[in-house]
Structure 1
Amino acid sequence: MFLLLAVYAVASLVHFVHNAEFLGDYPGLPASWSSGGVYLAWVAMTVVGGIGALLVYRAREWIGLMLLAVYAALGLDSLGHYVVAPISAHSSMMNTTILLEVGAAALVLLEVTRRLFGLITGRRATDSSRRS
Structure 2
Amino acid sequence: MKMRHTVLALTGAAVTALTGLFAVLQWDDATQVAPMVSAVIAVGSLGVTVWAALPGSRVRSRSDAPIRVARTGTARVGTGGTANTGVMGSAATVRRAEVEDTGEAEAGDGGDANTGVKEG
Normalised-by-shorter TM-score class? 0.3 to 0.5
Q: Which has the higher contact order (CA 8 A, sep 6+)?
A: 1
The structure having more radius of gyration, on CA atoms, is 2
- Per residue, is there more strand in 1 or in 2? 2
TM-score by length of 1: 0.34
Q: TM-score, normalised by structure 2?
A: 0.37
